[in-house]
A and B are shown apart, each in its own frame.
Chain A
Amino acid sequence: AQSVAQPEDQVNVAEGNPLTVKCTYSVSGNPYLFWYVQYPNRGLQFLLKYITGDNLVKGSYGFEAEFNKSQTSFHLKKPSALVSDSALYFCAVRLTGANNLFFGTGTRLTVIP
């Protein structure tokens, strides 16, 4: 069975500081990994994905994530947080050849001015 874990319900960071939102996964094959962001009462917006190749993936709004196969992690990072980055962040996984996408429980990021 495949699963995704986001160990932190809440992450607080000061504006201008680097941010990290953690994600670990458990799958029986090769995973496709994704990050999404959700603003209040809105749908999810795609940020970035890892399919294959370079372990460091760059996405929208200055976000990046690093795929670490040995640690089965895919942490989301940004060098300098903005207040507007405050939102709910979801990590997701899809197995190669599978159609369904499984999400973590989400991490609420608050950037403090």
Chain B
Amino acid sequence: SQTIHQWPATLVQPVGSPLSLECTVEGTSNPNLYWYRQAAGRGLQLLFYSVGIGQISSEVPQNLSASRPQDRQFILSSKKLLLSDSGFYLCAWSVGSGTEAFFGQGTRLTVV
């Protein structure tokens, strides 16, 4: 069966520090991968999605970047965190265009 791993679960980082959040999927090949941010426990904002290795689409210009170095690995990064980067970050995967996405457990990022 397919599983998605996202870590760390919580992270407290000072302003100006770098960020690296990692997400891996097991049990499937060539998944579509997504990074979402959820602010204040409500709406989800699509940040990035990827349909293959090295293929990244950015939905919203921001202080963050994403990379997909391997088929089932998706990394969210920042060189210098801002206070406004605080939030709940969710990784997800899907296969094909008509299917649902499956989510990881999320990372609670607090920038102080």
A-to-B contact residues, CB < 8 Å: 32, 34, 36, 41-46, 49, 51, 88, 90, 94, 96-106
Q: How far is the CB of B68 from chain A (nearest CB, A)?
A: 13
Instruction: Indicate which residue in B94, B97, B103 contacts A43 across the interface (CB closer than 8 Å).
Output: B103
**Which residues of the other chain, B, contact A51 by a CB distance below 8 angstroms?**
98
Q: How far is the CB of B95 from chain A (nearest CB, A)?
A: 10
**Which residues of the other chain, B, contact A34 by a CB distance below 8 angstroms?**
100-101
Residue ID in chain A nearest B102 by CB atoms: A46
Report the tally of A-B residue pairs with Cβ distances under 8 A.
Answer: 63
Instruction: Indicate which residue in A43, A88, A99, A103 contacts B105 across the interface (CB closer than 8 Å).
Output: A43
Instruction: Indicate which residue in A41, A97, A99 contacts B32 across the interface (CB closer than 8 Å).
Output: A99
Q: Residue B43 at the A interface, CB < 8 A?
A: yes
Q: How far is the CB of A29 from chain B (nearest CB, A)?
A: 12
A45 near B46: Cβ-Cβ < 8 Å: no
Contact A101:B94 (CB < 8 A) given known A88-B41, A90-B44, A106-B42: yes
**Which residues of the other chain, B, contact A97 by a CB distance below 8 angstroms?**
97
